[in-house]
Structure 1
Amino acid sequence: MTGKTHITGGIAASLAFAQITNYDPVILLSAGVVGAILPDICHGGSKIGRALPVLSKIINTLFGHRTFTHSLLFLLLIGALLNATPLHEAAIAGVLVGMASHFILDMATKRGIKLLFPFKLNVRFPITATTGGTAEYFVFAALSLLSVYFGYEAFAVYL
């Protein structure tokens, strides 16, 4: 999936998560966007890869694309690292929800992800889309609509 689809997925997931928690939706939303792009640190052409090119190159050289940074192991590691910081619980939850949305979206691509890294098993859904293709456009549109719906619900108290 492209960066814009991952960001929109992170927004939709964070706002949906805000519906079932008492976390501040603004914090969840902001952190969810960060989490949604974080797994692509392994790809030099991604938004985060271009922002941190040296780190991206190191991670890609060590692990490749859609392996370690797209795994449950990475999700648990990031969760443990964030829990060791003084970050607000909503920020930690937002990052993790955003990362989970990224994993789910990439599992809907033909290549899938190494969710159980270091095992070489490739995980993907039975029906997949091509990155940047027509099906992804429809996924992006659906996520955009969900973001509006969940955003209205999450921010209705401010209206």
Structure 2
Amino acid sequence: MKANIGISEKNTQAVALILNQLLADEQVLFAKTRNYHWNIESPSFMELHKLYERLYTELAETIDGIAERVRKIGHYAEGRLADYLKLTNLQEGEYTNDQLTQIKNLLDDHETIIRGVRANIEKVEDEYKDTGSADFLTGVLKEHEEWAWFLRSYLK
């Protein structure tokens, strides 16, 4: 049964694509963060190991929220790794266990997501008439801004 929520099918399809692209970015960032959690080598090992664990745990909640938002507007959330890699704006990158490289890579990814989400909020609200998804995206934006701030504090 299609969602009858006062937004045209064309508009919900456009928003679902934006959300699925964000979902792909979040999944790639989740995998990268988990990889760094497993492979960090640093004098700050325990601190970063815990930081990365907190980050990927919160990313898992964000991922679930994005997928559920896609469903709420009447579409299916992407769920295959191959699809994520086609949709994402992020790069998986090479393996690294270097603290500064890891932090810089994660910061770059969070800032890429921030710029993408920020660019889509107005479009989702004004062009596609989906205030609920625009509000949801604003929340995601705030989460990534906070994580970017945390990561930026490790860099000089």
| Bigger Cα Rg | 2
- Structure-2-length-normalised TM-score: 0.34
Higher helix share: 2
